[in-house]
Amino acid sequence: MFLAPALIGFTAFVVYPLFRSAYFALTTYNGLTDPKFVGLDNFRRMFTTDPSFWPSVRATLLLVVLYVPLSLIIGLALAVFCNQRMRGVGLLRTLCYLPVVLPVVATITLWKFVFNPQVGLANQVLHWLHLPTSEWLSGDDSAMPSIVIVMLWSVGSTMIIFLAALQAVPTELYEAARLDGAGSRTVFFRITLPLISPIMILQVVLQMVTALQAFNQPKILSPDNQGGPGFSTRTLMLSIYDNGFPRLGQVSQFGYASAQVWVLFLVIVVVIAATARFSSIWTYSDHVS
Amino acid sequence: MTTSPDVTRAPTTAPKTPLPAKPRGRAVRKASWYATALLISSVMILPILWMLTVALKGPSAVFEVPPKLLPHEFHFKNFIDGPKVIHFPRLLLNSLVITGLSVIGGVMTSMMAGYALARLRFPGRKVWFYVFVGSMLLPPVVGIIPLFQLFKDIGWYDTWLPLIVPAFLGGNPLFIFLARQYFLSIPHSIDEAAKVDGAGHVRIFVSVMLPITKPAWITMSILAFQMSWNDYLNPLIYLYSSQKWPLSVGMASFVTQFAGQTPDWNLYMATNLLYMLPPLIVFFVAQRYFIQGLSALGTVNQR
């Protein structure tokens, strides 16, 4: 009885859509007439004729490659930095976490204006520092890095998790290492890093899944709201959205969008599986349970 | 009764031992720490401060080249005009209703499911637990098109129901997981005592468990609040009429709707500040529980 709402919801909102979307992927379906079975045609179209598919794969992978390592490194560095006994460290933690608390749309729109090439803060700061300015979101090559910067501004969420992991490391280990004369670098790479490696792996998976499904940032930040300029920030999620829920006057392509959903889903499954496989090699675990 | 399960005990300030250093080295270390801290803080806070100054600028000052950091004259009227232009009160009301209901629904059903999985004996409860945990890994994107079709077929398109009802049916797998962990840590003697006194499961859940698990469901409520307040994709898909939009869609549309035309950024930023206030208030009021909850996540996953 206590489980009933969850079970109904699970069937209706998880199991049913899963099978339904697998079926849609094999049909042409516009949401108005009945789905028509076409086998793998959607996938053939995606891989061979759709001019926007491969660019969107490229944009998605670029986002992952830029965002995931940076968010982990910066998140961990901030956590280590904020894990020291200093006056005002609490304030610093709060400031780092502040962007995470703010509504996502509010921060994205704020950054859209920060990146305004003429009157935005970003170029103004570069100007003060006598550095070359940038076109930011309207440049082909700078659009995706700009989006990554916006996403990295919320690195506080990663930092908090790492901070909790760091504080769970037993103090005795540090003391023992210090008695043995280990320097801070040795302590970090030989003790801290191995001990927090399970959390690290979890974060790798979570951040990859986040980056692969990024939607809000490229949608709101791109000048045309469709992943421009060109295809530079048109991620797979944007492509799925545009095909499935197009602007007024265009026909939805639920079948084709579902096929893209499955490509994205399979990529996510592969990423998780590969990370799980990989993690058993290099994470530390004491087999005492 | 002050049972505080281990899972949620927040790690207090770092018991980290400073590495041995010479006095002069320590001073240098300290100075460089503060310099770095200042740099980090300014990266975090500068865009927000700048938003504040833009919110106070007049319409022409916003587009000055090069931009001035401080406004020449303060236009406090932006905080009145902006919300009017963007229809802020209506959007706020919509957001409050949608978020309020989905928080209540999500937390309630997740707590119930967590209770069942942790403390009731029924066939297959282990299996259900793994099914729920497994569904945490299932990316939400898989369901968007069939769900859209489903909700459209039952006439829920352009209503708030697709945004609220799912919360009442199963809530969030992450919350179910958290609730289960929490319930597992509560000693069985407590509900046995209640059972001896003649209480049923509903009674135990409401009058014994809910008070004990306060940190757990407060954390969930804050997370659920943030998720719903932040949600942009779902309202964008399901809500056609702008009268029903929540703040996320309404605010974004003010920035994105003007094809080629620039929005009044000063009015927008003033309203944006108001949009940020509710989550900020929630966060600072319940910060203690929130940090606890997040640390619980970190440690739970580690074990």
The ipTM, to two decimals, is 0.87
| Distance in Å, alpha carbon of A17 to nearest chain B alpha carbon | 5
| Distance in Å, alpha carbon of B1 to nearest chain A alpha carbon | 25
Question: With an 8 Å Cβ cutoff, are B170 and A6 in contact?
Answer: yes
How many other C-beta atoms can be found within 10 angstroms of the C-beta atom of residue A192?
Answer: 20
Tell me the two tokens of residue B183: 């319930």
Question: With an 8 Å Cβ cutoff, are A178 and B143 in contact?
Answer: no
* 3-class DSSP state of A211: helix
Across the interface, of A121, A212, A216, the residue whose CB is closest to B47 is A121
Residue range A76-91: mean pLDDT, rounded:
90
Across the interface, of A5, A10, A16, the residue whose CB is closest to B168 is A5
What CA–CA distance (Å, rounded) separates A86 from B62? 39
Residue range A144-161: mean pLDDT, rounded:
94
The answer for B 14-33 residues in CB contact with A (under 8 A) is: 14-20, 30, 33
What CA–CA distance (Å, rounded) separates A283 from A197? 5
Tell me the two tokens of residue B292: 């606890």
| Per-position DSSP letters for B136-185, written without gaps between them | HSS-GGGGHHHHHHHHHHTT-TTSSHHHHHHHHTT--HHHHHHHHHHHHT
Find the length of chain A. Answer: 289
Does any CB of chain A come closer than 8 Å to the CB of residue B157? no
Question: With an 8 Å Cβ cutoff, are A268 and B128 in contact?
Answer: no
Question: With an 8 Å Cβ cutoff, are B146 and A171 in contact?
Answer: no
Residues of B in contact with A167 (CB under 8 A): 11, 14-15, 295
How many other C-beta atoms can be found within 10 angstroms of the C-beta atom of residue A41?
Answer: 16
Question: At residue A260, does pLDDT exceed 90?
Answer: yes
Across the interface, of A14, A109, A165, the residue whose CB is closest to B251 is A109
Q: Please give the residue that has the higher pLDDT: either B15 or B252.
A: B252
Q: Please give the residue that has the higher pLDDT: either B218 or B9.
A: B218
| Beta carbons of A23 and B142 less than 8 angstroms apart | no
The pLDDT, as a whole number, for residue A18 is 86
* 3-class DSSP state of A105: helix
CA distances A124 to A128, B35, B50, B51, B102, Å, are 6, 22, 11, 14, 42
Tell me the two tokens of residue B213: 């698990």
Q: Angle at Cα B196 formed by Cα B194 and Cα B200, nearest 5°?
A: 55
| Beta carbons of B56 and B79 less than 8 angstroms apart | no
What CA–CA distance (Å, rounded) separates A26 from A42? 7
Tell me the two tokens of residue A149: 């910067």
Nearest CA in chain A to B48: A110
Look at A198-202, B1-5, B103-107 and tell me which has the smallest mean pLDDT: B1-5
Residue A127 neighbours by CB under 8 Å, 6+ apart? A133, B66
* 3-class DSSP state of A36: strand
Query: CA nearest B128: which of A209, A15, A20, A205?
Result: A15
Residues of A in contact with B107 (CB under 8 A): none
Nearest CA in chain B to A183: B19
| Beta carbons of A203 and A75 less than 8 angstroms apart | yes
Question: With an 8 Å Cβ cutoff, are B150 and A17 in contact?
Answer: yes
Residue A12 neighbours by CB under 8 Å, 6+ apart? B150, B169
What CA–CA distance (Å, rounded) separates A241 from A34? 21
Across the interface, of B112, B146, B229, the residue whose CB is closest to A17 is B146
| Beta carbons of A256 and A45 less than 8 angstroms apart | yes
Question: At residue A110, does pLDDT exceed 90?
Answer: yes
Residue range A113-138, pLDDT digits in tens: 999 888 888 998 898 898 988 889 98
Question: B interface mutation test: which of A64, A119, A185 has the most B CBs within 10 A?
Answer: A119
Does any CB of chain A come closer than 8 Å to the CB of residue B206? no
Half-sphere exposure of A158 (CA within 13 A, CB side): 28
| Beta carbons of A233 and A255 less than 8 angstroms apart | no
| Per-position DSSP letters for B9-43, written without gaps between them | PPP-S--PPPPP--HHHHHHHHHHHHHHHHHHHHH
What CA–CA distance (Å, rounded) separates B158 from B192? 48
B204 pairs with which residues across the strands? none
| Beta carbons of A188 and A80 less than 8 angstroms apart | yes
Does any CB of chain A come closer than 8 Å to the CB of residue B255? yes
Question: At residue B44, does pLDDT exceed 90?
Answer: yes
The pLDDT, as a whole number, for residue A177 is 87
Tell me the two tokens of residue A38: 């076409």
Across the interface, of A104, A112, A258, the residue whose CB is closest to B232 is A104
Q: Amino acid letter at A148? A: V
Q: pTM of the prediction?
A: 0.86
What CA–CA distance (Å, rounded) separates A29 from A142? 37
With residue A28 as reference, give the H or E element that holds it: strand A27-28
| Distance in Å, alpha carbon of A51 to nearest chain B alpha carbon | 22
The pLDDT, as a whole number, for residue B175 is 87
Residue B185 neighbours by CB under 8 Å, 6+ apart? B5, B6, B7
Residue range B163-206, pLDDT digits in tens: 999 888 876 888 888 888 888 888 888 878 888 888 888 888 88
| Distance in Å, alpha carbon of A261 to nearest chain B alpha carbon | 6
Question: With an 8 Å Cβ cutoff, are A213 and B141 in contact?
Answer: yes
Looking at chain B, the whole-number percentage of residues with pLDDT higher than 90 is 33
What CA–CA distance (Å, rounded) separates A17 from A21? 6
Tell me the two tokens of residue A235: 């991620």
Residues of B in contact with A7 (CB under 8 A): 128, 170
Across the interface, of A124, A174, A202, the residue whose CB is closest to B66 is A124
pLDDT grade, residue B298 (50/70/90)?
very low
The pLDDT, as a whole number, for residue B288 is 74
Question: With an 8 Å Cβ cutoff, are B47 and A111 in contact?
Answer: yes
Looking at chain B, the whole-number percentage of residues with pLDDT higher than 70 is 85
Tell me the two tokens of residue A90: 């609490």
